Chains A and B, each alone.
Chain A
């Protein structure tokens, strides 16, 4: 992996100047189009809490690679399985992170990825089941690198 030199690291920080100008008290404020992403995914329906376990570090030292694991309770049979999962970061320049698509062949509705977080913010997951029901879960991650200085 290519290391970022000092100059590039500053340039990267420059992109987040707007975020750093916000008052620090406003921890994890929504600063992007997260609501639009969720609405597009859910079709305006209100997702219920539960079924999802979202695993993220409470404090991420390096916002460039934050490990994310998600596990959704589901039998994963042809009749009843998780179809899609939307993952959103509400403080990034763009809210979208990933959309995971499962099938009954997945066996388990479980996945791990590594994501980028610009600043301290909420990570939201919304899962769509084969019967159309929706579930959501969110986690706040404190990010040390990325402008706000933690």
Chain B
């Protein structure tokens, strides 16, 4: 899973503007329900938590279950009151955390 998460958000926003953020991360999201060719259950391996914070303050987060499709796509909104950095994190069942950062500026 070396693929970088894909994040789409505007480069700048007016103060107080609500912007839309789209994120997508490559992950199999193995549900733990499927069986392999030998009939053995493939163990569950999913991203179980996604979180987004802005300048250290939580914006949006969600707990994900196996019923989330592969390559989880999450779209949400955020209100921008100041210039700063969005931090994104995806937590895997095995404990690894995929992180990403995006900066946003205020419109002059």
Contacts and interface: CB of A to CB of B under 8 A. Distances in A.
B40 to A, nearest CB: 10
Interface size class of B (residues with CB under 8 A): 20 to 34
A122 B28 CA distance: 25
A40 interface: no
B68 A101 contact: no
A103 B59 contact: yes
- Prevailing SS type, chain A contact patch: mixed
Contacts of A115: 67-69
A99 B60 CA distance: 11
A98 B60 CA distance: 13
A114 interface: yes
Contacts, number: 111
A46 interface: no
Interface string A97-128: 11111111111101111111100000000000
Interface in B48-93: 54, 57-79
Residue of A66, A110, A116 contacting most chain B CB atoms (<10 Å):
A116
A27 B37 CA distance: 31
B20 to A, nearest CB: 8
Contacts of A15: 33-35
Interface residues of A, number: 38
A116 B79 CA distance: 30
Given A1-B71, A112-B73, A114-B73, A106 B79 contact: yes
Contacts of A47: none
A23 to B, nearest CB: 23
A11 interface: yes
A107 B72 contact: no
Given A96-B65, A111-B74, 12 more contacts: A8-B34, A11-B39, A98-B62, A101-B58, A103-B58, A105-B54, A105-B59, A106-B60, A107-B18, A107-B19, A110-B76, A114-B69
19 contacts: A7-B37, A11-B34, A14-B35, A65-B70, A94-B65, A94-B67, A98-B64, A99-B63, A100-B62, A101-B63, A105-B60, A105-B78, A110-B77, A111-B74, A112-B73, A113-B68, A113-B74, A113-B75, A116-B31
